Amino acid sequence: MSKQFAFGGEIVWWPTADHIERANLTQFMRKHGITDFDELMHRSTEDVAWYTDALLRYLKIEFYEPYSQVIDLSKGIQWPAWCVGGKMNIVHNCLDKYIGTPTESKIAYLWESEEGHTRSITYGELYRQTNQTANALRALGLGKGDAIGIFMPMVPEIVVALLAIAKVGAIIVPLFSGYGDSAVATRLNETDAKALFCADGFHRRGKMILTKPIADKAAQQIPSLEHIIVLNRIDQDVDMTQGRDHWWHDLIPNQPVEAQTEVTRAEDTLMVIYTSGTTGRPKGAVHTHCGFPIKATQDLAFGMDFHPDEIIYWITDMGWMLGPWMVFGPLIIGGTGFLYDGALDHPGPDRLWAMVERHKINKLGLSPTLIRALMAHGEQPVHAHDLSSLRMVGSTGEPWNHKPWMWLFEVVGNGEMPIINYTGGTELSGGILMGNPLLPIKPTSFPGPCPGVAADVLDEEGNSVVGQVGELVIKTPWIGMTRGFWKDAERYMQTYWSRWPDIWVHGDWAAVDSEGQWYVLGRSDDTIKVAGKRLGPAEVESILVEHPNVVEAATIGVPHEVKGSEVIAFCVLKSSSAMSDDLREELRDMVARAMGKPLAPGAVFFVSALPMTRNAKVMRRMIRAAYLGLDPGDTSSLVNPEAVEEIKNVR
């Protein structure tokens, strides 16, 4: 049965005339005679070919040879071919076309290190360094179709490496900088990678973390690997294998500054980026030159309303979808990106706000988890800095709870700045749902789908529902959809297309309220079904974090003889709060009063941290596996394994 949806509340942010007039969306809609957002959504999803062609033209995407057809669905909705017959290389649209224009002298990226070093790189400098790196790759015998991994911290050279791989027509394999050797080896083995970019190490909270030894251990497990290019990031002595390993500073700076960009087909593979599966090995989402970068740029332009005169910082790692998103999107638009290599709470809890002030960042992307952590330090770290440059905050990674959303809106945004909620995934190249500067916002909501994405919420029988929790789905193709999983078409079909004919089932619970505001309640495989009632974890967690002593909360469902499942809650308390049975009962009573006694947690446990990925997603499936003693599945994206061990011992 579907559960009635009770979230919502009042609209707290309305777009001003200035927001609407300045918006990229307004420009696009006027160009095509579209009067409002509803009409845009109708046209962009009913006529996918028209919208995609219009989007490519709006973003000024240049082709070496034009496409004869926008989309070919002859193999079915699951396997569309895009920009048929077209030839283009996305690096041309990121760098090459700007040379000889005023953009060449603009700053492409600003960078700050944990130690306090800063650096900037212009479009012209990025172009020349990318060319030198492309020449170095070709000198090593690397080129079109070769898979090349990137295992580096967020430094300017990581952008250079990514663009150079694409420039020579090779395949980018981005890797989380915190991976162990097994996770690196698994992904590079599956793609038969021939080379790897890495660094000697990086700094985190004042400590040096060596990554070259991890790359060395991984290399022993990768028969196809021929070369490792090593960036000297922290000036540490590391083992270098003669003939295989090359220092960046020896190999690249002496190369010529001009290099030809490989003429690739629009649908040639650009990148294989991995996302963890609930069980089994990680999934390698395949993306093309005319796919991922176009969708990423659309969301940045239309959702975050990013303009060429702005600076954006989205907190991410290159191993997550938002890493490449932060390369392609800002460069195609011609703006400035900001990179930070370090911990956001070092040396103090104001580091993020200090960087916003110091670099005059205009658009900031973060996670609800980060805000919940920063809230614990109070408002003073925020108020200590001038945040007047900020125009908009984006958020992704986890469903919001009301209290931290309002803290961000009121304390950081002074009740005036829109929070652009964004949800989608690696396989989509961006979002299904996303706010934008034209639509009003309720706390924790998504004001609507992304243009071009035919999203819906379906009940168990496949009926579209409003005011009820259901499966988040997509009904038409969009240009950013993955071209399948690397060497595993069957798994791709089973994962997204097996429930209802020709409908993409994303794996999230969602709901739409009566005013058209959307909400995501967590992964549908995290869903708890108590006595026949479906319960999204976020519903209970939002109640728990309302308690003044609770910083974080995660809920899971475990087997129960009578109810089928019961709720178990794990809470992280403020450092000043004491664990007690009285507090446990108080938290259980809060949920019982709000949700009803049958849905109250059977137990509440206090832990020091919740298992998370680097991009701050709480790994509920891992909590459940640890608690029940089950196989945890793929653990490669877990950033704090000690949290799992703590949960194993709570009973």
State pLDDT tens for residues 131-152. Answer: 999 999 999 999 999 999 999 9
Q: Which of 75-84, 85-94, 363-372 has the lowest mean pLDDT?
A: 363-372
Domain for residue 98, yes or no? no
The last residue of a domain, from among 251, 282, 309: 251
Q: Which amino acid is at 358?
A: R
Q: Per-residue pLDDT averaged across 461-467, rounded?
A: 94
Tell me how far apart the alpha carbons of residues 221 and 37 are, in angstroms, rounded to a whole number: 51
- The three-point CA angle 261-53-144 to 5° equals 25
**Closest to 567 in 3D by CA, of 606, 539, 609:** 539
Q: Are residues 223 and 273 in the same domain?
A: no
Q: Are residues 459 and 322 in the same domain?
A: yes
Tell me how far apart the alpha carbons of residues 197 and 156 are, in angstroms, rounded to a whole number: 13
**Highest mean pLDDT, choosing among 220-234, 577-591, 633-647:** 220-234
Per-residue confidence (pLDDT) for residue 532, from 0 to 100: 53
- Read off the pLDDT band of 383 (50, 70, 90): very high
Give pLDDT tens digits for 468-523. Answer: 889 999 999 999 999 999 999 999 999 999 999 999 999 888 999 999 999 998 77
Strands 171-174 and 528-530: unpaired
**Closest to 541 in 3D by CA, of 560, 559, 556, 530:** 556
The last residue of a domain, from among 485, 504, 522: 522
Tell me how far apart the alpha carbons of residues 525 and 507 are, in angstroms, rounded to a whole number: 7
Q: What tokens appear for 20 in the block?
A: 């609407």
Per-residue confidence (pLDDT) for residue 278, from 0 to 100: 47
Q: Are residues 448 and 533 in the same domain?
A: no
- Read off the pLDDT band of 130 (50, 70, 90): very high
Give pLDDT tens digits for 167-208. Answer: 999 999 999 898 888 889 989 999 999 999 999 999 999 999
Q: Are residues 246 and 299 in the same domain?
A: no
Tell me how far apart the alpha carbons of residues 556 and 452 are, in angstroms, rounded to a whole number: 34
Q: Which amino acid is at 361?
A: I
Q: Are residues 413 and 559 in the same domain?
A: no
Q: Are residues 459 and 545 in the same domain?
A: no
Domain for residue 466, yes or no? yes
User: b/e for 611-633, b at 16 or more Cβ within 10 A?
Assistant: bbbbbbbbbbbbbbbbbeeeebb
Domain for residue 108, yes or no? no
Q: Are residues 339 and 354 in the same domain?
A: yes
H or E segment to which residue 645 belongs:
helix 641-648
The last residue of a domain, from among 522, 556, 577: 522
Q: How many residues comprise the chain?
A: 651
Q: Per-residue pLDDT averaged across 358-370, rounded?
A: 95
Domain for residue 107, yes or no? no
**Closest to 57 in 3D by CA, of 93, 21, 89:** 93
Q: Are residues 232 and 282 in the same domain?
A: no
Q: Per-residue pLDDT averaged across 141-164, rounded?
A: 98
Per-residue confidence (pLDDT) for residue 524, from 0 to 100: 72
Per-residue confidence (pLDDT) for residue 559, from 0 to 100: 80
- In the predicted model, is pLDDT for residue 539 greater than 60? yes
> What's the Rg (C-alpha) of the chain?
24
Judge whether 335 and 365 are in contact, CB under 8 Å: no
How many structural domains does the chain have?
3
Tell me how far apart the alpha carbons of residues 589 and 30 are, in angstroms, rounded to a whole number: 53
Q: Are residues 303 and 317 in the same domain?
A: yes
Per-residue confidence (pLDDT) for residue 279, from 0 to 100: 47
Per-residue confidence (pLDDT) for residue 624, from 0 to 100: 87
Q: What share of the chain is helix, strand, coil (3-state, %, to 5)?
A: 30, 25, 45
- In the predicted model, is pLDDT for residue 633 greater than 90? no
H or E segment to which residue 627 belongs:
helix 620-628
Residue 519 phi/psi, 5-degree rounding, is -140, 140
**Closest to 533 in 3D by CA, of 576, 566, 568, 572:** 566
What is each CA distance from 520 to 449, 468, 591, in whole angstroms? 12, 12, 20
Q: Are residues 70 and 148 in the same domain?
A: no
Higher pLDDT, 424 or 280: 424
45 three-class SS: helix
Per-residue confidence (pLDDT) for residue 487, from 0 to 100: 94
202: domain CATH number? 3.40.50.980
- In the predicted model, is pLDDT for residue 247 greater than 70? yes
The secondary structure of 354-418 as a DSSP string is HHHHHHT-SEEEE-HHHHHHHHTT-SHHHHTS--TT--EEEE-SS---HHHHHHIIIIITTTTS-
Higher pLDDT, 638 or 383: 383
Neighbour tally for 495: CB within 10 Å: 18
Q: Per-residue pLDDT averaged across 73-80, rounded?
A: 98
Per-residue confidence (pLDDT) for residue 1, from 0 to 100: 30
**Closest to 121 in 3D by CA, of 339, 274, 366:** 339
- In the predicted model, is pLDDT for residue 258 greater than 60? yes
Higher pLDDT, 58 or 557: 58
H or E segment to which residue 430 belongs:
strand 430-434
Percentage of the chain exceeding pLDDT 70: 95
Tell me how far apart the alpha carbons of residues 156 and 409 are, in angstroms, rounded to a whole number: 31
Mean pLDDT of the chain: 93
Tell me how far apart the alpha carbons of residues 355 and 350 are, in angstroms, rounded to a whole number: 9
Domain for residue 12, yes or no? no
- In the predicted model, is pLDDT for residue 224 greater than 80? yes
Q: Are residues 532 and 490 in the same domain?
A: no
List all residues 6 or more positions away from 12 whose beta carbon is below 8 Å from its beta carbon: 406, 409, 415, 441, 442, 443
Tell me how far apart the alpha carbons of residues 511 and 546 are, in angstroms, rounded to a whole number: 22
Tell me how far apart the alpha carbons of residues 623 and 295 are, in angstroms, rounded to a whole number: 33
Q: Are residues 473 and 605 in the same domain?
A: no
159 three-class SS: helix
Domain for residue 282, yes or no? yes
Cα torsion 625, 626, 627, 631: sign: positive
Give pLDDT tens digits for 577-618. Answer: 889 999 999 999 998 887 677 778 999 999 999 998 766 778
- The three-point CA angle 267-271-274 to 5° equals 130
Domain for residue 26, yes or no? yes
Domain for residue 3, yes or no? no
Judge whether 165 and 171 are in contact, CB under 8 Å: yes
**Closest to 320 in 3D by CA, of 453, 429, 466:** 429
Host domain of residue 154: 118-251
Neighbour tally for 403: CB within 10 Å: 19
Tell me how far apart the alpha carbons of residues 294 and 71 are, in angstroms, rounded to a whole number: 14
**Closest to 402 in 3D by CA, of 552, 568, 281, 545:** 545
- Read off the pLDDT band of 531 (50, 70, 90): low
Strands 311-314 and 363-366: parallel
Tell me the pTM. 0.86
User: b/e for 346-358, b at 16 or more Cβ within 10 A?
Assistant: eeebbbbbebbbe
592: domain CATH number? 3.30.300.30
